[in-house]
Structure 1
């Protein structure tokens, strides 16, 4: 972690700005896992402050990406028609008010719903920015706590176990990718 080593001795606000900026970029990209930023935050700031900074970064990233996605979707709304969609995400598109608020919280809590898709669907819905901000942040807190605790635990492991875990995750991810790709090809 050479960036973290470079930041030691620098003003804390610089590390905070870098962490928030990286979190925002990850949220806008929509497909990059945030666990690396959470790990860096925990290593640099400790568990409690690292978790708080991760929650803040993810919340800011979600709101900024929500606004950007909404602006982009307004331009593309006539061209968007998904042949295959996720039922809860479709439901979110048609909702507003308290129903949309609760759906975003539930989708943020659901471990397999990609964060970028939830934000995209919410930006396509009729829900307001403030409602999305509050519900998204409430939903992200438990997920980030679990992520931060897991990262904190793994960082406490010996290097050999960390490497084994990383290899396992990489193999599982690649296998899952090929399995889903193969299934999609068989359906066509």
Structure 2
């Protein structure tokens, strides 16, 4: 999810829990979140290295790039703890900082554990209270909606 950046992770968490059970579903969801953040971090870092650096000279971006590694480390943890901050935004922002990949992984993991735990608690409550047929139908409907929106945007951008 971290590499894609726009697909709501609670959908996959609910699918994991309802298909694989609570324990394996939680392990898979947390592992996927962490792996996605790692892949996203390196993809963003690579992508930003290929972009025209003119926009990076603005004061805000200079401040981010000049931040200490310690400050970035704690900022990643804190931003990961806030449930409604998009994960892709945190990952992209971290990719612009001087933080090494290993420290990013540690900070992201520390921050994601409580966030994923909260997500699992909410999703598990829903999974237990809603019939599985409705869950799968809702998942398919949302997935197809994202697919249609993506296809329309791709076709519009290719014209």
The answer for the alignment partner of 2:83 in structure 1 is 111
The alignment yields a C-alpha RMSD, in angstroms, of 2.6
Q: Distance in 2 between matches of 1:58 and 1:68?
A: 15
- Residues 79-107 of structure 1 show CA distances to partners (whole Å, capped at 9, x for unaligned) of 43599x7xxx9865432422211110000
Write the mapping of 1:139-178 to structure 2, written as runs, cut at 5 A: 139-159=111-131
Alignment CA distance shift 1:56-1:77 (3 Å): farther
Give TM-score scaled by structure 2 length. 0.74
- Aligned partner of 1:14 in structure 2 is none
2: CA distance between counterparts of 1:98 and 1:32? Answer: 30
Mapped partners of 2:13, 2:114: distance in 1: 14
Q: 1:77 to 1:70 in 2, by over 3 A?
A: farther
Q: Does 1:48 align with 2:56?
A: no
Pair 59,158 (structure 1): closer, same or farther in 2 beyond 3 Å: closer
Gaps of 5+ in 2: 143-159
Paired residue secondary structure (2:2): helix
Q: CA contact under 8 A between 1:41 and 1:50: conserved in structure 2?
A: yes
Tell me which stretches of 4 or more aligned residues in structure 1 moved more than 3 Å.
Answer: 79-83, 89-94
Q: Could you list the per-position Cα deviations for residues 147-178 of structure 1 after superposition, in whole angstroms to 9, with x for gaps in the alignment?
A: 0111110112245xx78xx8xxx9xxxxxxxx
Unmatched segments (≥5 aa) in structure 1: 1-25, 171-188
Identify if the C-alpha distance between structure 1 residues 96 and 130 changes in structure 2 by more than 3 Å, giving closer, same or farther: farther
- The TM-score with structure 1 as length reference comes to 0.63
Matched, 1:62 2:34: no
Instruction: Answer 1 or 2: higher relative contact order, Cα 8 Å, separation at least 6.
Output: 2
Q: Number of residue pairs matched? A: 134
Shift of 1:35: 0.7
In the alignment, which residue of structure 1 is the partner of 2:2?
Answer: 27
Q: For 1:110 and 1:92, how far apart are their aligned partners in 2?
A: 19
* 1:126 partner SS: coil
